[in-house]
């Protein structure tokens, strides 16, 4: 990266306040930045660092008003959303990185697999019969791609990802290390003797375009049909998605959450970390669920905010917590204080 503050501002529809011809050659945290660095301020908790940063330029909001004198060497690049602008710059910067192409000598690619132009197949990767890898894909070392799998253009699979038979992944996706796509769903039926018989999982997983699947996340294949991850979904690390789940477009789910079988989560939802969903539920579009909540029934109203176990509308949950604290104080703490006064 080597660009002037003015050129960078023009690229992200920003305006420069201060020297516009300063050259930026790296990106850094606001508290660690050095001369020549670009940084950003999107959270007021970090405002104190902007008055001491060594960065040459900082992305700030259009309405940012400094409460102290800024360093004389610092230029401000004002934008409507500093965090979004910073993400755009990072994407632009990463697009300029060069990636290898070709097939490693110790990779195994079945003769019937189709590999598109400008792909990279890393060491000890395995691509089985009938798989199709579209143009510009990055298949890193020790990745396993099963029979009949289809990987869309420019998708990246990091080390030790496993994509099992007949699953499909769209274009421009990122699958982080250790993710497993298409393992058997957890399906068993008990017989008269009380033994559990495995139900064959005959479906697959389909992942849309522009998705990201976090490290060590698992998405189970459907019993029948498909487990579906729609376009633009972002899943964090260590998430479990069970068989026949459907996750709507542009939904984001934080780490260690789990979705039980046949549950449908709508589009544009935001799910906090360690949220659990019971099976066979429906969650409406635009719903937000706070971390560590447990969803035990369908949520039919769109765009609501829910919290707690069992999850409920957040205002009701907060009112319940306030009432509970008052009750505890009335029944327990006040009595303890009265006894302490008597003893003293």
Which are the catalytic amino acids? 243
d(CA 161, CA 159): 6
d(CA 251, CA 277): 15
β-strands 75-79, 15-17: how paired?
antiparallel
Residue 65 burial (C-beta neighbours within 10 Å; 0-12, 13-18, 19+):
exposed
Non-local (6+) Cβ contacts of 108 within 8 A are 125, 126, 127
User: Is 227 in contact with 188 (CB distance < 8 Å)?
Assistant: no
β-strands 3-4, 23-24: how paired?
antiparallel
Cis before 310 (ω within 30): yes
Q: Look at residue 150 and give its three-state secondary structure.
A: strand
Phi, psi of 7 (to 5 degrees): -65, -40
């Amino acid at each position: 990266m080597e660009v002037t503050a003015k050129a960078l501002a023009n690229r992200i529809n920003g305006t420069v306040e201060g020297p516009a011809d300063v050259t930026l050659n790296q990106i850094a945290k606001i508290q660690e930045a050095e001369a020549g660095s670009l940084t950003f301020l999107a959270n007021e908790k970090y405002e104190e660092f902007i008055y001491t940063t060594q960065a040459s330029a900082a992305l700030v909001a259009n309405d940012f008003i400094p409460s102290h004198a800024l360093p004389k060497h610092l230029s401000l690049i004002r934008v409507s959303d500093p965090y979004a602008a910073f993400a755009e710059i990072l994407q632009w910067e990463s697009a300029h990185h060069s990636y290898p192409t070709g097939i490693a000598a110790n990779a195994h690619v079945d003769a019937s697999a189709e590999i598109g132009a400008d792909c990279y197949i890393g060491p000890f990767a395995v691509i089985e019969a009938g798989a199709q890898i579209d143009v510009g894909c990055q298949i890193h070392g020790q990745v396993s791609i099963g029979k009949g799998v289809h990987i869309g253009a420019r998708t990246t699979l990091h080390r030790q990802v496993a994509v099992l038979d007949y699953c499909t992944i769209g274009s421009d996706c990122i699958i982080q290390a250790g993710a497993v796509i298409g393992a058997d769903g957890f399906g068993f039926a008990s017989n008269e003797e009380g033994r559990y018989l495995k139900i064959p999982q005959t479906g697959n997983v389909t992942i849309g375009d522009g998705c990201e699947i976090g490290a060590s996340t698992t998405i189970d294949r459907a019993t029948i049909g498909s487990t579906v991850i729609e376009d633009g979904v972002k899943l964090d690390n260590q998430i479990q998605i069970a068989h026949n789940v459907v996750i709507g477009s542009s939904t984001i789910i934080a780490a260690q959450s789990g979705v039980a079988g046949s549950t449908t989560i709508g589009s544009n939802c935001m799910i906090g970390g360690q949220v659990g969903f019971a099976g066979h539920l429906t969650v409406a579009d635009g719903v937000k669920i706070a971390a560590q909540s447990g969803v035990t029934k369908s949520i039919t109203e769109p765009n609501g905010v829910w919290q707690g176990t069992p999850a409920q509308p957040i205002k009701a949950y907060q009112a319940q917590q306030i009432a509970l604290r008052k009750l505890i104080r009335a029944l327990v703490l006040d009595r303890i204080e009265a006894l302490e006064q008597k003893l003293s």
